[in-house]
Amino acid sequence: MAQSLLAFALLGLAMLFPIEERLAKLTSVTGETARLAQKELDQIRENISVSSGSFTDLDGNTVEVACPGAPGTSCGNPLTASGLIDFTQAPPVGFSTQVADPSGQRYSVRWNIAVTASNGRKATLAGKALNLTGGLAPVVQFQTLTAP
């Protein structure tokens, strides 16, 4: 009887190891997604007022930050009804990029620029791992506001 109980307890513990491994991978991917998205957002925030409306980021990509128009105008990647970057839409040229981490895992980074009521800009940017094997690809999203 005692051996049976011990066997069931050890079997239950053994089943936790694959779950722990997947959670560690998910945590690692989420952290890397946040790091890469934050890197792109920092560059956008620094260059959002460039007169040309675009700049070349540290990875050599042409990044669009222009959004002319009245308050409420939105440019770039579409947002969902709840204000999140919509990854179901095709990535718009100039308002999206793909980057890779040192292991070769690729990530999609997309952004939307909106004109605020004070004629400032609100940048919404999100990143997501692409073709992630064995788990969910979490979306990490940031927002920042700039004054006119």
Q: Tell me the DSSP string of the chain.
A: -HHHHHHHHHHHHHHHHHHHHHHHHHHHHHHHHHHHHHHHHHHHHHHTT-TTSEEE-TTS-EEE----SSTT-EEES-B-TTS-B-TTSPPPTTSEEEEE-TT--EEEEEEEEEE-TTS-EEEEEEEEESS-TTS---EEEEEEEE--
% residues pLDDT > 90 (the chain): 56
Asked whether residue 31 carries a pLDDT value surpassing 70, the answer given is yes
pLDDT for the residue numbered 135: 64
Residues 81-107, mean pLDDT to the nearest whole number: 93
Residues 104-120, mean pLDDT to the nearest whole number: 93
pLDDT for the residue numbered 14: 66
pTM more than 0.85: no
Residues 27-47, mean pLDDT to the nearest whole number: 91
Residue 57: which pLDDT band, with cuts at 50, 70 and 90? very high
Q: Determine whether 42 is exposed, middle or buried from the number of CB atoms within 10 Å of its CB (0-12, 13-18, 19+).
A: middle
* Angstrom distance (rounded) from CA 146 to CA 148: 7
Backbone angles phi, psi at 23, to 5 degrees: -65, -40
Residue 13: which pLDDT band, with cuts at 50, 70 and 90? low
> Could you list the residue range(s) of the whole structural domain that residue 105 is in?
2-146
How many domains does the chain contain in total? 1
pLDDT for the residue numbered 131: 86
pLDDT for the residue numbered 16: 60
